[in-house]
Each structure stands twice: as C-alpha cells, then as structure tokens.
C-alpha cells in the first residue's frame, strides 16, 4: 500500500523526537558529571548516560518502527526496536518488549487479544516504502507478504534481528518468565539463535534491575559464530550482554589438543567424582594437639577434639575453601571458650591474633591445606589413579611425563577440570541468566561448568540433537538437562524452518533416520530453493556463477587446504567443522563423503553443512555420495 500523508507526518514527528532524544542524551553526557553530588554518583551517572547515548546511536538508519496495532478500544500504537517519546514524554513508538507489544506478535483470528488490525511497515533503509494491513476479523494469511520477503531476503553480512517478524511460538519462548529455564529442540534454521538473543534483550528490559547486577551471558560454540551474531543485541538496544565461548570463561587457555580417548575420559561426568576425591584427600585429621601461647597462658586442644571439629565441618558439606575457614573459626572459638573459662574477655583483635598465630596456621596447612586447582590437576594427570577409572582410561589421560602446573600444556578439557576443582573450592561469579546455544554439543563436564555459574539464575538451552557433532553429544535432552542442574525441564520443539528452503530440507531430512536421534523433522516456510548435484570439475564455474548472483556464498569442505578459489568479500571458504550456526545464501558442499569420513559424527556434520543454505545448495562430488543422500538425489 502506498504511504499516506498521515503516515509521512507521523514519521517526521518520530524523526524529530529521535533527534531531540539524541541531543538531550549528548548534552546529559557532557554535563552529567558536573551535576552529580559526589564522584561515585558522577561515575555511575556518566556510565548510564553514555550507555543510553550508545544505544541511541546504534544503527541511526534503522527503521524507527516496524508495526502498528489498532486495538478494538480505538487505541493505536506503533511498535519499534526501542521506545521513542516526544518532548512531553508521550510515547510515539513503544518498545517491542513492552507488554502491549506482545499482541502484535501473538494476536490471530482465533485469539484476537483486543486487536482490530495490525499494520506492518516496509522500509528501504530508513525510508518508508509502504505498509500492509491485516484485519484480524477477516482471518489471516499464514505469513504476510512483508514477512515472507524478510524471510527470503538474500543474506549479506552479520545476523540481523527478527523483531519485526517474530512468530507466536518463538515469541512465547522469548517472553518466558525470568525464573523459567527453557529448552528448545529446534531443527536447523527454526530461529533458535534468534530466539535466544531476543530473549536476552527481553529479559534485560523486563527485569533490568535484577539482571543489571547479576548479568546475562550468551554462550556460543565459536568466535566465528559469536562474531556473526554480535550485531543483533546492540541493534535491539542491548549492549550489556556478555557474548562468550565456554572456553573463554575457563581459568586457563587451551594450547594443546587431547586424543579422542583422553577427551572422552576427561569430559565424562565421573571426573567430577574423581576430582572431588582428589581434592578432599588433602583434608586429614590432625595427628598432634594444638598448643598456642597467649601471654602467660598456653591453650591446648587435644587431637580428639580437633578431629571432632574437622568431622563436624566436613559433615556440613561446605565448599573446600569455605570449609577451611570454618574449621579455623571453630578452632578459635574453642580457644576463646577456654580463655573465657579463665575469666578473660577476648575481643575481635584477640580472635584475629589467634587465627593468624603460627600454631593455628601450621595446623590448618597440615589438616586442611590450601589447594591450587591447576596444581591439583597437574598432579592428577601426571599420575592418574582412581577407583572410578579403568587402567586403560588412566593410561589415556596420563601425561607422558610428570609436569608442574606451570610447565603444563593444557587442553580445553584440562581447563574444565581445573574449573571444576576451582568451583569445589569457591563458587565462581554467577549470572542472572545464561543462554546456551548449540547446547547439544555440551559434555557433562561442560554442562557442570555452566550449571555452577547459574545456581541462582535460569537458563535458555537451545540446540538440535541431530546437529550433535561431539563425541559425547547425547541422543536425548534429559541427561544434558540433568548435568545442567535442571532435570525435568520441558523440551519445546520449533519446527518451522525460516532459513532452509523446502528443496534443501528434503535432502537434509533424509539423513535424520540414519542419525538415530528422536527429533521432529523441520518443515520449511519457504517454497523457493534450488539443489544441484554436480561432478567435481564444476567447482570453479559454480563459484563464479554463485558470485554473479546477490548474497553470500560459502564453499564448505572437510578440509579447505588445497582449494584454490577466487577471493571475494562475499565468498567464505570454510572447513565443515566451523560451519555450525552460520548461514549463507548459496552453499557449495565439496565431497560430502569426505565430510562423513572425517570424524565419527561425520553424518551429523554433513547434516549441519547442508542446512546452512538459505536459497541454493550445490553438492560437488567425484566420490560416491553417502548412502543416505543417494535415494532422493535431485535431478541434475
């Protein structure tokens, strides 16, 4: 529909309001520090104002609103990525996360939620090009033209937000309560990553105070993936979410790689028990009484009393570090009661002196010594032994020669072991909410590293069992949720695929049977898409042809060494192992049989690779196709 003068007038008012908001924010940053009473307030205020200014400056050319709601009570609201208010503070545009905005995504003919009509705006940059009205009474098409256009647009550059076209089942997940842990089993391209990022933005809006203190963390599988999604949250007005890989949270960087046999042992949940035994083996009942000189007195605690104290503290099951301090405090309390019986009135300074006295320190160092997590893991891997591990398992993880922590060449799994021990000694800082993407790949020990950072918060667990490519990827969600400390969390499926067109999905879905995972297959909301199977000599021509079209192109192979291809900013040449979570308009898969053969979960890897395609998939091969792909091979 052409743009009416009313709409243009309204847009001009929104632009004016935005300019005024930006001017005010800039002015406030300039003067904020002067108006604040003290340095602390000035700093806090300054930070707040700068972050507000940064939010306003993000994407100045982005459309200021994407929709309008016309309610049955006559009210009209525009809805955008952030609130825009006029000089009097009256909102012109509501934030998409505000309660009223929910109806924009949820209302339908069967459940109109007080909505008479919904308007969707079309934009080219910041120019309004038209709009589309949906009257709920008349019933709705399953997807509007503007939504279809957005879904089918060519992909260039980083991932974009989906706030204008979010679907009701996605919206329910985004707006789930702060206390709810949700687990989403979603086929490729069903919007799991998008849902996770929008949920982070929503929670920060709806529970700002709580989460600003506790923090929100998005965990992704790789740096490449995090770079790809990094623009979404700032575009939604949220610049305060940490986006990391799990490895990036761990106490030591990985510089070496484990053999598959060693990795399997180190990622196994039994390692938690093994390390727990190794840590607590440092605590031993004292062999000698404690004797402390205090002026002309000498206080004594006999061995049985010390042993009883130690047992009492251990029975309370504290963390190792807390336990050590509690044991010290109980010893001092016992000394204090002796002093009081002698008529003394010991105060705080006396308690401090006793607790730091050499005999008390020496006793603690023998009975409940400090332990450095990396030193413990280095000692264990130098000579592994535990009843829970077989001889072969110990041999798989044993270092060829003993090393100190300083000389160690840690692997990613070692870092997890160190983190596990560190967590037994002292709780790591936690987050108010953690969003875990590609969660199907997590090992039990990785789940535990996440769980101990969310003891007081909730989780959004996103993944697809069919895309599990690690040695420990499970066939069902329940063990993984249990390791995350959230057993019994209901699993919500997403099956409408927004990325992968029907023709490509038909090929990829053939792999689901042989993968042996119990997941509902995806159905595509896109009827477009082209799939071709071509002999390997065609690769250069196919790449040239792809680059002549609009959109991003990826050549994905088991190994990209030796592939000589033209250089273009739109062409990504990618080993199959790095494709997870990404998408490209045109995907060219080279030798699928090699991808399958390269690793034990090669078929899952191929499933991931095939489902990166947004509109075209070319499979280039000279070796026979994997059996699962042969039956429904597309015509050449």
Ligand X SMILES: Nc1ncnc2c1ncn2[C@@H]1O[C@H](COP(=O)(O)OP(=O)(O)OP(=O)(O)O)[C@@H](O)[C@H]1O
Q: Which of 79, 151, 201, 363 binds ligand X (CB under 6 A)?
A: 151
Complex with ligand X: residue 324 or 601, whichever CB lies closer: 601
Answer for the pair 614, 634: CB distance below 8 angstroms, yes or no.
no
Task: Consult the annotation and say whether 193 binds a ligand.
Answer: yes
Q: Sign of the CA dihedral 120, 122, 127, 128?
A: negative
Judged by CB under 6 A, which stretch of 161-169, 244-252, 310-318, 371-379 contacts ligand X?
A: 161-169
HSE value, Cβ hemisphere, 13 Å, CA-based, for 43:
2
Q: Is 167 in the site for ligand X (CB under 6 A)?
A: yes
Q: Which of 64, 122, 189, 221 binds ligand X (CB under 6 A)?
A: 189
Complex with ligand X: residue 160 or 353, whichever CB lies closer: 160
Q: How far is the CB of 126 from ligand X (least distance, A)?
A: 20
Q: Is 191 in the site for ligand X (CB under 6 A)?
A: yes
> How far apart, in whole angstroms, are the C-alpha atoms of residue 347 and residue 349?
6
Number of H helices, E strands in the chain: 26, 21
Q: How far is the CB of 64 from ligand X (least distance, A)?
A: 19
Count of CB atoms situated within 10 Å of the CB of 320? 21
Answer for the pair 524, 502: CB distance below 8 angstroms, yes or no.
yes
Task: Consult the annotation and say whether 192 binds a ligand.
Answer: yes
Q: How far is the CB of 580 from ligand X (least distance, A)?
A: 7
Complex with ligand X: residue 202 or 380, whichever CB lies closer: 202
Instruction: Tell which positions 306-365 bind ligand X, by CB under 6 A.
Output: none
30-54 residues labelled b (16+ CB within 10 A) or e (exposed): eebeeeeeeeeeeeebeeebeebbe
Task: Consult the annotation and say whether 321 binds a ligand.
Answer: no
Q: Is 82 in the site for ligand X (CB under 6 A)?
A: no
> How far apart, in whole angstroms, are the C-alpha atoms of residue 581 and residue 462?
11
Task: Consult the annotation and say whether 215 binds a ligand.
Answer: no
Residues contacting residue 65 through CB under 8 Å, at least 6 positions apart: 14, 78, 79, 80, 84, 93, 121
Query: Three-state secondary structure along 186-225?
Result: ECCCCCHHHHHHHHHHHHHHHCHHHHHHHCEEEEECCHHH
Provide the edge-to-edge strand list for the sheet that holds 182-186. Answer: 242-245, 216-220, 433-436, 458-463, 182-186, 491-494
Complex with ligand X: residue 238 or 268, whichever CB lies closer: 238
Task: Consult the annotation and say whether 513 binds a ligand.
Answer: no
Q: Is 469 in the site for ligand X (CB under 6 A)?
A: no
Q: Is 464 in the site for ligand X (CB under 6 A)?
A: yes
Q: Is 581 in the site for ligand X (CB under 6 A)?
A: yes
Burial class from Cβ neighbours inside 10 Å (0-12, 13-18, 19+) for residue 337 reads exposed
Q: Is 96 in the site for ligand X (CB under 6 A)?
A: no
Burial class from Cβ neighbours inside 10 Å (0-12, 13-18, 19+) for residue 89 reads exposed
Q: Is 170 in the site for ligand X (CB under 6 A)?
A: yes
> Under DSSP, is residue 621 helix (H, G, I), strand (E, B) or coil?
strand
Task: Consult the annotation and say whether 50 binds a ligand.
Answer: no
> How far apart, in whole angstroms, are the C-alpha atoms of residue 374 and residue 418?
6
Q: How far is the CB of 133 from ligand X (least distance, A)?
A: 19
Judged by CB under 6 A, which stretch of 17-25, 79-87, 157-165, 305-313 contacts ligand X?
A: 157-165
Answer for the pair 535, 622: CB distance below 8 angstroms, yes or no.
yes
Q: How far is the CB of 497 from ligand X (least distance, A)?
A: 8
Task: Consult the annotation and say whether 191 binds a ligand.
Answer: yes
Closest CA to 496 of 188, 196, 194: 188
Q: Is 193 in the site for ligand X (CB under 6 A)?
A: yes
Q: Which of 134, 393, 583, 618 binds ligand X (CB under 6 A)?
A: 583
> How far apart, in whole angstroms, are the C-alpha atoms of residue 631 and residue 636?
14
Q: Is 194 in the site for ligand X (CB under 6 A)?
A: yes
> Under DSSP, is residue 98 helix (H, G, I), strand (E, B) or coil?
coil
Q: Map residues 533-572 to x or -, x wherever contact with ligand X holds by CB under 6 A.
A: ----------------------------------------
Task: Consult the annotation and say whether 190 binds a ligand.
Answer: yes
Q: How far is the CB of 270 from ligand X (least distance, A)?
A: 30
Q: Which of 336, 446, 611, 615 binds ligand X (CB under 6 A)?
A: 611
Instruction: Tell which positions 498-517 bind ligand X, by CB under 6 A.
Output: 498-499
Q: How far is the CB of 495 from ligand X (least distance, A)?
A: 10
Q: Which of 181, 190, 469, 524 binds ligand X (CB under 6 A)?
A: 190
Judged by CB under 6 A, which stretch of 116-124, 164-172, 291-299, 568-576 contacts ligand X?
A: 164-172
Helix (H) or strand (E) holding 105: helix 102-106
Q: Report how many residues bind ligand X under the rule CB under 6 A.
A: 23
Q: Is 529 in the site for ligand X (CB under 6 A)?
A: no
Q: Is 166 in the site for ligand X (CB under 6 A)?
A: yes
Complex with ligand X: residue 189 or 234, whichever CB lies closer: 189
Judged by CB under 6 A, which stretch of 183-191, 205-213, 234-242, 546-554 contacts ligand X?
A: 183-191
Answer for the pair 509, 477: CB distance below 8 angstroms, yes or no.
no
Q: Is 220 in the site for ligand X (CB under 6 A)?
A: no
Q: Is 423 in the site for ligand X (CB under 6 A)?
A: no
Complex with ligand X: residue 155 or 328, whichever CB lies closer: 155
Q: How far is the CB of 622 from ligand X (least distance, A)?
A: 28
Q: Is 162 in the site for ligand X (CB under 6 A)?
A: yes
Please give the biggest Cα pair distance in the chain.
99
Complex with ligand X: residue 336 or 611, whichever CB lies closer: 611
**CA 175 distance to own-chain centroid:** 17
> How far apart, in whole angstroms, are the C-alpha atoms of residue 445 and residue 294?
48
> Under DSSP, is residue 414 helix (H, G, I), strand (E, B) or coil?
helix
> How far apart, in whole angstroms, are the C-alpha atoms of residue 244 and residue 526?
32
Q: How far is the CB of 457 from ligand X (least distance, A)?
A: 22
Burial class from Cβ neighbours inside 10 Å (0-12, 13-18, 19+) for residue 611 reads buried
Q: How far is the CB of 146 from ligand X (least distance, A)?
A: 10
Q: Is 181 in the site for ligand X (CB under 6 A)?
A: no
Q: How far is the CB of 183 from ligand X (least distance, A)?
A: 13
Residues at the site binding ligand X, with contacts judged by CB under 6 A: 150-151, 160, 162, 165-167, 170, 186, 188-194, 464, 467, 498-499, 581, 583, 611
The annotated binding site is made up of: 186-193
The annotated binding site for ATP is made up of: 186-193
């Amino acid at each position: 529909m052409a743009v009416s003068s009313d709409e243009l007038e309204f847009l001009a008012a929104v632009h004016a309001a935005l300019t005024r908001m930006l001017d005010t924010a800039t002015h406030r940053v300039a003067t904020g520090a002067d108006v604040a009473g003290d340095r602390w307030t000035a700093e806090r205020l300054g930070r707040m104002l700068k972050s507000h200014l940064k939010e306003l400056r993000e994407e100045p050319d982005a459309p200021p609103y994407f929709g309008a709601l016309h309610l049955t009570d006559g009210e009209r609201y525009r809805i955008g990525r952030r609130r825009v208010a006029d000089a009097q503070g009256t909102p012109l545009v509501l934030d998409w996360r505000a309660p009223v905005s929910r109806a924009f995504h949820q209302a339908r003919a069967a459940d109109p939620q007080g909505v008479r009509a919904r308007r969707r705006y079309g934009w080219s940059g910041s120019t309004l090009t038209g709009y589309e009205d949906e009257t709920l009474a008349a019933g709705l098409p399953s997807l509007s033209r503007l939504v279809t256009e957005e879904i089918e647009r060519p992909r260039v550059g980083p991932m974009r937000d989906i706030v204008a076209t979010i679907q009701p089942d996605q919206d329910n997940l985004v707006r789930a309560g702060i206390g709810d842990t949700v687990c989403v089993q979603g086929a490729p391209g069903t919007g799991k990553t998008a849902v996770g990022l929008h949920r982070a933005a929503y929670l920060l809006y709806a529970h700002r105070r709580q989460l600003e203190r506790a923090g929100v963390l998005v965990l992704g599988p790789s740096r490449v993936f995090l770079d790809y999604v990094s623009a979404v949250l700032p575009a939604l007005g949220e610049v305060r979410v940490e986006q990391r890989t799990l490895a990036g949270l761990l106490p030591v960087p990985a510089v070496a790689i484990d053999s598959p046999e060693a990795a399997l042992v180190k990622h196994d949940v039994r390692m938690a028990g093994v390390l727990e035994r190794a840590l607590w083996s440092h605590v031993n009942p004292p062999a000698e009484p404690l004797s402390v000189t205090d002026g002309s007195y000498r206080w004594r605690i006999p061995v049985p009393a010390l042993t009883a104290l130690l047992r009492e503290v251990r029975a309370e099951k504290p963390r190792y570090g807390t336990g050590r301090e509690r044991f010290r405090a109980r010893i001092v309390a016992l000394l204090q009661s002796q002093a009081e019986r002698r008529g003394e009135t010991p105060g705080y300074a006396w308690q401090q002196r006793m607790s730091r006295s050499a005999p008390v320190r020496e006793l603690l160092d023998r009975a409940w010594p400090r332990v450095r997590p990396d030193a413990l893991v280095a000692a264990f891997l130098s000579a592994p032994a535990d009843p829970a591990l077989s001889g072969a398992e110990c041999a798989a993880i044993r270092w060829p020669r003993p090393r100190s922590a300083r000389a160690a060449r840690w692997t990613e799994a070692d870092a997890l072991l160190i983190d596990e021990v560190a967590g037994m000694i002292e709780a790591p800082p936690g987050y108010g909410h953690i969003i875990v993407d590609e969660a199907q790949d997590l090992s039990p020990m990785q789940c535990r590293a996440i769980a101990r950072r969310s003891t007081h918060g909730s989780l959004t667990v996103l993944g697809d069992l069919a895309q599990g490519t690690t040695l420990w990827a499970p066939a069902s969600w329940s063990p993984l949720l249990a390791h995350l400390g959230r057993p019994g969390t209901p699993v919500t499926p997403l099956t409408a695929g927004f990325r992968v067109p029907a023709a490509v999905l038909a090929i990829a879905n053939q792999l689901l049977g042989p993968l042996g995972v119990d997941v509902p297959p995806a159905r595509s909301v896109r009827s477009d898409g082209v799939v071709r199977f071509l002999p390997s000599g065609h690769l250069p021509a196919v790449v040239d042809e792809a680059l002549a079209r609009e959109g991003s192109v990826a050549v994905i192979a088991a190994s990209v060494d030796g592939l000589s291809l033209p250089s273009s900013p739109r062409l990504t040449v990618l080993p199959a192992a790095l494709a997870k979570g990404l998408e490209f308009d045109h995907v060219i898969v080279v030798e699928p049989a090699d991808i399958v053969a390269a690793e034990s979960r090669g078929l899952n890897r191929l499933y991931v690779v095939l489902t990166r395609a947004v509109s075209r998939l070319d499979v280039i091969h000279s070796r026979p196709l994997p059996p699962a792909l042969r039956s429904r091979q597309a015509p050449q």
